[in-house]
Amino acid sequence: MIDESLHLEHTTLGIELGSTRIKACLVGESGQTLATGSSSWESQLLDGVWTYSLDAVHQGLAAAYADLAATVRRLHSIELRAVGAIGISAMMHGYLALDSAGDLLTPFRTWRNTTTTAAAARLTQEFGQNIPLRWSIAHHYQAILDAEPHVPRVHTLTTLAGYVHHLLTGNHVLGVGDASGMFPIDPATGDYDAELLERFRSLTAAEEIGRDLEQLLPPVASAGDQAGFLTPEGAEILDPTGTLEPGIMFCPPEGDAGTGMVATNAVRARTGNVSVGTSIFAMLVLEDSLRSTRSEIDIVATPDAKLVAMVHCNNGASELGAWAGLFGEFLTNLGHVAEPDEVFQAMLRGALEAEADQNGMLAYSLLAAEPIIGVDRGRPMMVRTPETPLTLAGFARSQLLGVFAALSVGMGVLAEEGVTVDRFFAHGGLLRTGGVAQKALAAALGTPVAVTKDSAEGGAWGIAVLAGYAHAVTAGSASGRAMPDWLDEEVFADSAVETVTPSDAEVSDYAQFLERWVAGLAAERAAGEALD
């Protein structure tokens, strides 16, 4: 039976390429999630480079869309032929260098690669602004410094979201939030900083680099802009069955940071959000520029070009997830079957009830380098003093609090800069653990942490909402409202929010743990030196 209440022309489709899943989310006019689909994938470490193959991109897009279409068919008894608008989101930063034919010149270098130390340091010095190791311009300049032979042949630099958007629309463009992780943005113009582009020209004047950087970077678009239409070739990539119709409008492609801000409605000054996944990062929308350049803090932008302070950690909940997988395997060997969320909740149930004297058990969940705390090579490690009892509660406590430790260090730097926030919103799969992770995060940040109902769908939902805003602006139904106002009035007006406020004792307890954890970093660094 056809669901007559579902009018596809009033829906939007968001697709996000995350670190472990490609997710598709179909969203209604008021932001309600109508159906989701997903496909799993994993990065590869090839010749010392963290990467994903472009074949995996193509296959994952089709698989996630097929899963979504099947869900729509099952839940709503309707074929997914068209939607009002589509948006693409993906992991930010990294290096995708394409030649004039659109072919990749090097394997895709993801945000996780930290081989750009010399370039990032020199650019930070020249620009007077922190340029992190993972930014696209750091990767490109490092390739120039290393005289990589592909450099003169580069015709276009882009991000993963920009690459997929071009694949589906034929249009090279980036949303301003994603673009701000490629090269610094001037908030006055909402475009790449012209003065810094000129400084880069001077810096590389003696090098054989081919096209000017301004020609390499994708044009920048802001929230509400129309950014192309689904081509017949793009429709076939998403849906090889031929059911999906071409001609659907796209909003500008965005990075996972920008879509996370939208998903949590943290796009106004003095609001912030935390994304907890394979990486973990906090975004705080600024009222003014920072007083100084700090290596721990990135300056990026909201999807409507407001300045944002970003504390980014390369390592998030992956190691915690690996331990949960181990416990799940143990249960299977005993003849019990449990869903992953059940395993997480059982493992973490006593984490916040463990005694503070178990701070002698420390977990360093570092699979990759973590520049924010001076760790060059990640080595997952657990260590405890002999007098510290080994209990499940203490083990879970150390693992859970360790997820947020590097983030806490960066947030301390922001506090020194005088940046404050009224409330943090959080999203990510770890937040489904019965409130335990939310309480731990609140203690780590020392401030209330809120989780909204739809934020569990993450960036795929966020980019679908951005597609909805672009559709409303194009159709004239946004009534001239800026993105934050439209979000408040059309999407989040009736949104259910669950807020956790930490007690003074919880904040103090976490501070004691963090002090011990930071002191133990010497052991983590030594492990990186000793273990290849």
- Reported as a single tens digit per residue, the pLDDT across 503-527 is 999 999 999 999 999 999 999 999 9
CA separation for the pair 438, 433 (Å, rounded): 8
Task: State pLDDT tens for residues 399-411.
Answer: 999 999 999 999 9
pLDDT digits (tens, 9 = 90+) for 200-241: 999 999 888 889 999 999 999 999 999 999 999 999 999 999
Length of the chain: 532
Which is higher by pLDDT, 429 or 484? Answer: 484
Closest to 10 (Cα-Cα) out of 25, 29, 37, 24: 29
CA nearest neighbour of 244 among 26, 71, 36, 82: 82
Question: What are residue 423's phi and psi, to 5 degrees?
Answer: -165, 145
82 part of a folded domain: no
Helix axis angle, 504-519 relative to 521-530, nearest 10°?
Answer: 40
Q: For the segment 422-433, what is each residue's pLDDT rounded down to a tens digit?
A: 778 888 778 877
Amino acid occupying residue 457: E
248 falls within a domain: no
Element (H, E) at 350: none
pLDDT of 1 reads 35
Please check the confidence at residue 4 and state whether its pLDDT lies above 60.
no
Whether 114 is covered by a domain: the verdict is yes
Q: Calculate the average pLDDT of the chain.
A: 91
Helix (H) or strand (E) holding 330: helix 318-333
Q: Which range scores top for mean pLDDT: 275-284, 340-349, 393-402?
A: 393-402
Alpha-carbon dihedral 216, 220, 226, 229, rounded to 10 degrees: 20
The yes-or-no verdict on residue 5 having pLDDT over 60 is: no
The answer to whether the CB of 269 falls within 8 A of the CB of 469 is no
The rounded distance, in Å, linking the Cα atoms of 270 and 284 is: 7
Under a CB-based contact definition with an 8 Å cutoff, are residues 238 and 244 in contact?
yes
Give the closest residue to 390 by CA, choosing from 412, 353, 360, 424: 360
- Which residues lie below 8 Å from residue 288, measured CB to CB, with a gap of 6+? none
* Residue 286 forms part of a structural domain: no
Query: What are the b/e assignments for 266-283, b being 16+ CB within 10 Å?
Result: bbbbebbbbbbbbbbbbb
Among all chains, which residue has been given the structure tokens 């007098």?
Answer: 387
> Residue 267 above 80 pLDDT?
yes
DSSP for residue 218: P
Q: Measured between alpha carbons, how far is 135 from 68 in angstroms, rounded to an integer?
A: 32
- pLDDT given for residue 183 in this prediction: 97
Quick: pLDDT tens for 149-197: 999 999 999 999 999 999 999 999 999 999 999 999 998 999 999 999 9
- pLDDT reading at 2 higher than 50: no
Residue 424 forms beta bridges with which residues?
272, 449
Sorted by sequence, the CB contacts under 8 Å of residue 283 that are 6+ apart come out as 257, 260, 261, 266, 272, 273, 274, 275, 300, 308, 309, 310
Answer for the pair 76, 6: CB distance below 8 angstroms, yes or no. yes
Residue 195 lies in a domain: no
Domain-embedded: residue 507: no
Structural domain span for residue 150: 94-154+203-216
The per-residue pLDDT for 48 is 87
149 occurs within a structural domain: yes
The per-residue b/e assignment along 493-521, b for 16 or more CB within 10 angstroms, e otherwise, is: eeeeeeebebeeebeebbeebbebbeebb
Total tally of structural domains belonging to the chain: 1
Q: Choose the weakest-confidence range: 2-6, 62-66, 361-365.
A: 2-6
Q: What is the pLDDT of residue 454?
A: 58
Check whether 470 has a pLDDT greater than 90: yes
The proportion of the chain whose per-residue pLDDT surpasses 70, expressed as a percent, equals: 97
Residue 456 pLDDT? 59
Query: Tokens standing for 188?
Result: 């006055």
Residues linked to residue 299 through DSSP beta bridges, in sequence order: 309
Section 90-116 average pLDDT:
93
- What pLDDT is stored for residue 356 in this prediction? 67
Domain-located, residue 440: no
pLDDT band for 455, please (50, 70, 90 cuts): low
pLDDT at 72: 95
Q: How far from each other are the two terminal CA atoms of the chain, in whole angstroms?
A: 59
Distances (CA, A) of 124 to 130, 178, 343, 499: 5, 19, 44, 38
